[in-house]
Structure 1
Amino acid sequence: MAARSHAPLIRLARFKVEELQKQMAEIERIRASIREQITRLEESVPEEQSVASESREGYLAYGSYARSVIQRKDKLRASMEEVDAQADDIRARMEQAFAELKKYELLEERRLMRLQDAARMAEQAEMDEIAGQRLRSAH
């Protein structure tokens, strides 16, 4: 009895890996967006300081602006930590999915090798039988 093909399991495992890779790509896009937002905030501070120094009203308003920038950066950093935690989780799941895929691929490779070995043995047995028949008919 021949062992079943592992092809369906391999397809499922590949699908899982691909889905996790897509999730990781999305996480990387989110990370880049957060980094960009932080950079823009940091770049806006000197500009706002310059504007604030030009008038008394601007100087008084700058304090609340600076606090809002700090709060926004803190929120973005907290978001980045959450995204990093999600990335770590996806990375762990991806390692597990890759290991599962590799296991199924190795099982399928062994199954195919066993089938090839069985076919070679059957062919050799057939050749041996033919050689035996020729030997018997020669005597």
Structure 2
Amino acid sequence: MTRSHEPLIRLARFKVEELQKQLADIDRVRQSLIDQVERLEASVPEEQAAATQNKDGFLAYGSYAQAVIKRKQNIRASMDEVDQQADEIRERLEGAFRELKKYELLEERRVARVEEALRAEEQAEVDEIAQSRRRAAH
């Protein structure tokens, strides 16, 4: 009898689950970065309105606007890195899924062979009993 592929299946499932968790973590980081950009963009009209109220505010707004632009550039660079990591994890996840399916198919085939061998043994026993009864009847 061939050995079960269950240990390999469990290991492959573990790999898939770990990669899925990593991808979920990356997605959360990406969403956090998107939220940061949205908060920055939402703060600009408020700062513009405050800047029109007095001369000092108007002068400070230029520095603020430059800081916002720089911060958004940094966040977008971080998003690019996160996207690259996500792509790499997705590739590894696809490979892990393929590996898992391969082991599952091998196990299905192994189980089918075992079941077929058992059916053949049972049929051989039934045939033997029938043959014995025929001999006894004659």
TM-score range, shorter chain: over 0.9
> What is the Cα deviation at residue 22 of structure 1?
0.4
**1:1-139 to 2 correspondences below 5 Å:** 2-139=1-138
Gaps of 5+ in 2: none
> What is the Cα deviation at residue 105 of structure 1?
0.4
Gaps of 5+ in 1: none
Tell me how far apart the structure 2 counterparts of residues 18 and 99 of structure 1 sit (CA, whole Å): 13
> What is the Cα deviation at residue 39 of structure 1?
0.1
Runs of at least 4 residues off by over 6 Å: none
Percent identity reads 65
> In the TM superposition, what whole-angstrom CA distance separates every residue of 1:108-134 from its partner, at most 9, and x where no partner exists?
000000000000000000000000001
What secondary structure is seen at the aligned counterpart in 1 of 2:2? coil
> In the TM superposition, what whole-angstrom CA distance separates every residue of 1:34-86 from its partner, at most 9, and x where no partner exists?
00000000000000000011111111110010000000000000000000000
Tell me how far apart the structure 2 counterparts of residues 79 and 20 of structure 1 sit (CA, whole Å): 21
Equivalent position amino acid for 1:47 in 2:
E
Tell me how far apart the structure 2 counterparts of residues 4 and 34 of structure 1 sit (CA, whole Å): 48
What secondary structure is seen at the aligned counterpart in 1 of 2:20? helix
Give the alignment's TM-score, normalised by structure 1: 0.98
> What is the Cα deviation at residue 25 of structure 1?
0.6
